[in-house]
Amino acid sequence: MPLDPEYLQYPHRRYGMDHDRYDWSMLSDRNPVSWPNNNRLALWVNVCLQFFPLDQKGKPFPVPGGMTMPYPDLRHFTLRDYGNRVGIYRFLKAFDKYNVKPTFALNTRLAENNPYLLHSIMERGDEINCHGLHMDALHYGGQDINEESELIKRSLGRLRDLTGRDIRGWLSPARNESANTPELLAANGIDYFSDWCNDDMPYQFRTDKGLLWAMPLSNELEDRFILMENLHSEEAYVEQICDACDFLLQESETQGGRILALNLHPWMLGQPHRIKKLEQVLEYVTSQEGVWSASAGDILSSFCGQQP
């Protein structure tokens, strides 16, 4: 029996999608962009600097990459700490070797607890975004809006105080949000956020507090996702990113500039048996003609400057 036509009639029913957060469009139909110096591929390397509490509550769910054993799960806690004490410095050497301009998504609690690490990052002059308070302070559906509002204010306010910078970018812990998160971010001076991964290019995101920019950060090419969740080899990790680089460069020849977004974790790729794989990726991508390595904010600024 066919459905009653009224079944498909509801307030947000519309062409393309059933919400008004952003305008629906096909990537291939948009105005092409060109990166500085006529480059065709912007390389965005996003480094997640994270603090996982030893006594995580897991509300409303255990955060991916967090503690998995009964308290005190020192094995996983110290492994995450290894990334912030050892692995990150291998990252920095690799970035400098291949002239890569990284962006750091930083938990505010880590900035509070590890001033030496914060100083090292700030001394470089690289962009710092807020990665929430810590990895067990999640934003989620059903969360009291006042609780979430205070969490965002605390995370951003404290990180701005510690860095002396006007933090403009955001990445939620576990990339999880409530329906209120975008409005709260806009109300607290955030220009762009990276939680949604439904595109290859930036797009305007509507909120009741004004416009945000969504900067899609690929989950498919994330080191933790490929190695820990998909259980692929390190060699497969390198191959997948090189394939993505080749394809995006090819696509850019007819459709305009593209972004290769790599999300990295120093506790994962900063290990002595894996850092070579990151170096292989960086060497390959930066050796291609037409690649521009830049911070997320600089990429977005270049993109916005070309919009009608």
pLDDT of residue 11: 80
CA 31 to chain centre: 24
pLDDT of residue 136: 97
Spatial distance between the Cα atoms of 5 and 115, rounded to a whole number of angstroms: 61
SS3 134: coil
pLDDT of residue 85: 97
Task: List the beta strands (DSSP E) in the chain.
Answer: 41-49, 102-106, 127-130, 169-170, 192-193, 203-207, 210-214, 258-264, 291-293
pLDDT of residue 12: 77
Instruction: Report percent pLDDT > 90 for the chain.
Output: 90
pTM comes to: 0.94
Q: Which residues of the chain have pLDDT under 70?
A: none
What are the helix (H) ranges across 47-199?
74-82, 88-97, 108-113, 115-124, 145-163, 181-187
For residue 83 the two structure tokens come to 């990334």
Residues 31-48 pLDDT 10s: 999 999 999 999 999 999
Q: Please, which residues bridge with residue 263 across strands?
A: 46
Residues 170-179 pLDDT 10s: 999 999 999 9
Residues 131-161 pLDDT 10s: 999 999 999 999 999 999 999 999 999 999 9
For each of the domains in the chain, give its residue range(s) and CATH number, in order of start.
32-304 (3.20.20.370)
Who contacts 103 (Cβ-Cβ below 8 Å, separation ≥6)?
A: 44, 45, 46, 47, 126, 127, 128, 129, 169, 295, 296, 297
